[in-house]
Chain A
Amino acid sequence: MSLRNGLRLALVLFLLFPFLFLVTQFGVSEVPDAGELLWAFKNSLWQASFSAVFSLMFGFWAALGLLSFQNSGRVKWRSILDILCLLPNFLPPLFILLSVLSVIEPFPMGIAGIVIVHTVMNFGLVAVLLAGIIENKLGGMIELAYVEGATRWQFLSKGLFPALQKDLLLLGLFIFVICFGSFAVPLIVGGGKGTTIEVLIYEKIRLSSNWGGAVLLALLQSVFIFTLSFVVSQGRTASRAKRTQMNLLKSPSGVFVVAAISFVYLYGYFEGVISGLAMTSTFYELQSTLIWNFVGSVVLGLTVGLLCYISLLWIAYCWPKQWFEKFLSGYVAPSTSLACFSLLILGPNEGFYPFIKIPFALVLLNLNALVRMGWSGELQALQSQMTVAYAMGASPAQIFKTILFPQLSERAGILAGIAAIWACGDFAVSRILAHHDLSIAMMTETLMSGYRLNQAMVLSTLIIVAGILCFVLCVGGSRVLRRKFTA
């Protein structure tokens, strides 16, 4: 077996580890109750489909707003908007929920409620990704249409949508997968249609200790997503273009969308923070704990960022290979509880082990999202360059070092930075694998579980600080590495 095949196989085994491990540990003997399964499946499907559609719609509109900030003088504004867009993705879901519920009154519980919350949480991510795709792929086409006097609607209907059909589908699938696996939101605002497959998995583990059943459900969920991805990802294309004029497409109303939706989640959040500020005196005696947990958050974020950076480049090194690409585009991470419990069973959990297991689990759970967030698109865009280099006789190592790494390092850094932000906001994984509060996010959750919601909101601002710090370090680090390696 060649080194690259070995690495491909290793990565696949790593991603499948929770399934393989738990199946060998518990087996899958029990056939699930079909009625229960279908019901949960239907709920998951409905809420995820609507959430994906609305996230795409608002995300697209917001993306047009982001495209208004292209000139160098306005890049700062663009960064601020980007952060606003990405923020709801890494704040604890309860904060978003509280804010949304306080602004939208009366709040419609049920599918509509789930879709609203999911849309607020994901529209920004769609906007940031979509703005990137439009800039990269359609720059020339937009200029041409602008010069030829096409109206915006003509360009959208005849140019942009047909050209980005595949990308929009993939992005929709990405959001669909995130929402399909969502746990807390459907449980809280889902009303009667709230039980999703994720909830069912949790029930199986927690209530009936039915691990076999839980693994089977997770497997069925994965097979469904895999099949869906397989169908959607047929024949996608990708190309790169230089940065161009966006006059035809940019829309200040998109900025309004970003501002309006940001208001929806920020209003309640800052209200909570302000009322919590009056009680911050309780933090004074905890200064040292706060500092250490802040360092803990940063270390956790950076470790996850570093591991994701390495994993993304590892994937790049193994690219292209058809089965490998298909696997990555179809794979969906196992549910958090399954992944964490499989790691709990594996080896000791004392001493430094949580420090290895938590980042390991977070990479396992997030890597797939990073690949869907544009990594596979980046790799496909470079495929023709790889082909030329391969035909010239360049070795995989040469192709990686000279062609891929310099062009991908920064993008890998951005994605690793996003993973680092997620890691800073994580408490679900850490709570299962760690013995005590290691990070600000865990401290926040501890505060929440004992009446102190507003203080938790104050503390969560440190999650944002740690997240941004990790993001900046990941992006900066990747740039330095690129410069150092290509110098």
Chain B
Amino acid sequence: MKHFILFVAVIFSGLFFAVLHKTEQGAVTNSLPTLRVFGYASFTGRWGPGPLLKEHFEKTCNCKVEFIEGSDSGILLQRLKIEGESLGADVLVGLDQFDISKALADHTWRKLSLNNLDVYDSVKPALNNSFFVPYDWGVLTFVTRRDELKKTPKSLDDLLDPEFAKKIALQDPRTSSPGMQFLYWILRSKGEEEGFAYLEKLMAQVHSFSPTWSTAYGLFTNKQAKMAYSYVTSPLYHEIEEKKKDYVALSFNEALPVQFEFVGIPDLCRNCTLGEKFVNLMLSPEGQKIIMEKNYMFPVMKGVMEGTAFAPLMNVRTLNEVEIMPSAEVDRLLRRWTEIRRGELN
């Protein structure tokens, strides 16, 4: 009996420690300083820009880069708040403009000395705070399959056409940042009162409000919905990776909203200088190229996108200011949105 239990225990702990060792490899065993980058999974994961940025950075920094993953920006900020210094985050990537005021209210951040960044004009409004710098941006719109719609919506009001009834996949703004961007787009385009009145009408057109962008987009790619709220660069993914050309981003009469993804360095960083260097890499031509190609988002710096398939996609009319909304205001808008959903009949 003892031998059996010993045998099982040895095999099991062998596996356990093998996995443990594997995941900690390089981070603990090495005496080099470790830069800890805290971000969402699709940035730090295998298919995101994280691993390539890490590879580039480690070539010159004489350090190790370790990624800490969180599921989304909301969770990232919660963890930073809860775990504080013990989290050991030197760099935080993945906040968008609706997270910034909460991030500033809950934590202190290092000022970033970023002078004379040669960014696109549409990015300039996002540089108006000294704690966070955008590293990529995307323009949000509806994506559909070519020839699947008899009519192509040209304006927000066109979305109310009976042809699109129950065909539009949206995200829940309470749980998803593109969802919040959509809400913001409507309110900015139509004004608050009219915007909410419009949303009430739109409810009947919506296939579903998903908790995440990936769920909504999955419903769309699986043909449950005829269009999904996504990025103007989304069709490019299908073209490059799947060799499919039938996805198309719709253009609207209304100026489209822009989502910026920011990087910041929390005040409680341990390797702050390395953190700054990493931010610089993200903004360097190599870094920007990696981010563009892996995240399917626009780079913020000029000179990277030109001549690529991304460049023509940038030429859409966008909202030309970046509003950093106080979190109380975000909460208020979400409460109104929730009220509308309560009244929805289905």
Query: Touching in the complex, A and B, CB below 8 A?
Result: yes
Using a CB–CB distance below 8 Å, which chain A residues touch chain B? 39, 94, 97-98, 101-102, 106-107, 109-110, 183-184, 187-189, 191-195, 199, 202-203, 205-209, 268, 272, 279, 282, 286, 289, 292, 295-296, 298-299, 302-303, 306, 341, 344-345, 348-352, 355, 431-432, 434-438, 442-443, 445-454, 477, 480, 484-485, 487
Contacts of B238 in A (CB 8 A): 451
Q: Contacts A187-B209, A189-B208, A345-B82: A279 and B344 contacting too (C-beta < 8 A)?
A: no
**A109, A446, A450, A452: which has the most chain B beta carbons within 10 Å?**
A450
Q: Contacts A187-B209, A187-B210, A303-B16: A437 and B174 contacting too (C-beta < 8 A)?
A: no
> Is B203 within 8 A of A436, CB to CB?
no
B219 to chain A, nearest CB (A): 7
27 contacts between A and B (CB under 8 A): A98-B224, A101-B224, A109-B166, A183-B211, A187-B209, A188-B210, A192-B346, A199-B174, A205-B78, A206-B78, A286-B46, A296-B23, A299-B16, A302-B12, A349-B83, A349-B87, A350-B88, A352-B24, A355-B16, A442-B41, A449-B41, A450-B45, A450-B214, A451-B221, A451-B238, A477-B8, A487-B1
> Is B106 within 8 A of A209, CB to CB?
yes
Residue interface mask B1-22, A partner, CB < 8 A = 1: 1001000100010011011101
Query: Of A188, A272, A341, A451, which contacts B211 at CB under 8 A?
Result: A188
CA of A477 to CA of B238 in the docked complex: distance in angstroms?
A: 46
B47 at the A interface (CB under 8 A): yes
B29 to chain A, nearest CB (A): 12
**B24, B203, B211, B222: which has the most chain A beta carbons within 10 Å?**
B222
Closest 8 CB pairs of A and B: A192-B344, A446-B45, A110-B346, A191-B346, A449-B42, A206-B74, A450-B42, A101-B224
> Is A101 within 8 A of B217, CB to CB?
no
Classify chain B's interface size: 35 or more
Residue interface mask B64-102, A partner, CB < 8 A = 1: 001111110011001101110011100000000000001
**A187, A205, A289, A454: which has the most chain B beta carbons within 10 Å?**
A187
**B23, B217, B234: which has the most chain A beta carbons within 10 Å?**
B23
B338 at the A interface (CB under 8 A): yes
Query: Of B28, B69, B174, B346, which contacts A193 at CB under 8 A?
Result: B346
> Is A194 within 8 A of B341, CB to CB?
yes
> Is B16 within 8 A of A432, CB to CB?
no
> Is A341 within 8 A of B82, CB to CB?
yes
Which residues 24-78 in B have Cβ within 8 Å of A in the complex?
24, 28, 40-42, 44-48, 66-71, 74-75, 78
> Is A98 within 8 A of B218, CB to CB?
yes
> Is B342 within 8 A of A195, CB to CB?
yes
CA of A352 to CA of B22 in the docked complex: distance in angstroms?
A: 11
**B88, B208, B338: which has the most chain A beta carbons within 10 Å?**
B208
CA of A215 to CA of B226 in the docked complex: distance in angstroms?
A: 39
Looking at chain B's contact residues, is the secondary structure mostly helix, strand, loop, or mixed? Answer: helix
Residue interface mask B328-346, A partner, CB < 8 A = 1: 0011001000100111111
A401 to chain B, nearest CB (A): 13
Using a CB–CB distance below 8 Å, which chain B residues touch chain A? 1, 4, 8, 12, 15-16, 18-20, 22-24, 28, 40-42, 44-48, 66-71, 74-75, 78-79, 81-83, 86-88, 102, 106, 166, 172, 174-175, 203, 207-215, 217-219, 221-224, 234, 237-238, 241-242, 296, 330-331, 334, 338, 341-346
CA of A436 to CA of B50 in the docked complex: distance in angstroms?
A: 12
B48 to chain A, nearest CB (A): 6
CA of A442 to CA of B4 in the docked complex: distance in angstroms?
A: 33
B269 to chain A, nearest CB (A): 15
Contacts of B341 in A (CB 8 A): 192, 194-195
> Is B296 within 8 A of A451, CB to CB?
yes
Contacts of A296 in B (CB 8 A): 19, 23
Contacts of A302 in B (CB 8 A): 12, 15
> Is A192 within 8 A of B166, CB to CB?
no
**B78, B102, B214, B345: which has the most chain A beta carbons within 10 Å?**
B214
> Is A445 within 8 A of B211, CB to CB?
no
CA of A189 to CA of B22 in the docked complex: distance in angstroms?
A: 40
B224 to chain A, nearest CB (A): 4
A294 to chain B, nearest CB (A): 10
CA of A74 to CA of B67 in the docked complex: distance in angstroms?
A: 51
CA of A279 to CA of B241 in the docked complex: distance in angstroms?
A: 9
CA of A453 to CA of B220 in the docked complex: distance in angstroms?
A: 11
CA of A445 to CA of B213 in the docked complex: distance in angstroms?
A: 12
Contacts of B70 in A (CB 8 A): 431-432
CA of A475 to CA of B22 in the docked complex: distance in angstroms?
A: 28
Q: Contacts A299-B19, A351-B28, A451-B237: A446 and B342 contacting too (C-beta < 8 A)?
A: no
B329 to chain A, nearest CB (A): 12
> Is B46 within 8 A of A446, CB to CB?
yes
> Is A450 within 8 A of B346, CB to CB?
no
> Is A209 within 8 A of B78, CB to CB?
yes
Q: Contacts A188-B211, A446-B42: A106 and B172 contacting too (C-beta < 8 A)?
A: no
> Is B1 within 8 A of A436, CB to CB?
no
CA of A289 to CA of B23 in the docked complex: distance in angstroms?
A: 10
CA of A16 to CA of B106 in the docked complex: distance in angstroms?
A: 29
CA of A248 to CA of B223 in the docked complex: distance in angstroms?
A: 44
CA of A231 to CA of B59 in the docked complex: distance in angstroms?
A: 65
B239 to chain A, nearest CB (A): 12
Contacts of A282 in B (CB 8 A): 47
CA of A205 to CA of B72 in the docked complex: distance in angstroms?
A: 13
Query: Of A434, A435, A443, which contacts B46 at CB under 8 A?
Result: A443
CB-based nearest A residue for B220: A453
Contacts of A477 in B (CB 8 A): 8
Contacts of B87 in A (CB 8 A): 349
> Is A348 within 8 A of B334, CB to CB?
no
CA of A107 to CA of B346 in the docked complex: distance in angstroms?
A: 12
Query: Of A193, A272, A355, A432, which contacts B75 at CB under 8 A?
Result: A432
> Is A431 within 8 A of B69, CB to CB?
yes
Contacts of A306 in B (CB 8 A): 12
A163 to chain B, nearest CB (A): 40
Contacts of A450 in B (CB 8 A): 42, 45, 47-48, 214
> Is B18 within 8 A of A206, CB to CB?
no
Query: Of A199, A437, A480, which contacts B69 at CB under 8 A?
Result: A437
CA of A443 to CA of B42 in the docked complex: distance in angstroms?
A: 10
**A101, A184, A188: which has the most chain B beta carbons within 10 Å?**
A188
Contacts of B343 in A (CB 8 A): 192
B267 to chain A, nearest CB (A): 19
Contacts of B83 in A (CB 8 A): 344-345, 349
CB-based nearest B residue for A452: B47
> Is A453 within 8 A of B218, CB to CB?
yes
CA of A433 to CA of B54 in the docked complex: distance in angstroms?
A: 22
CA of A207 to CA of B99 in the docked complex: distance in angstroms?
A: 10
> Is A432 within 8 A of B46, CB to CB?
no
A111 to chain B, nearest CB (A): 8
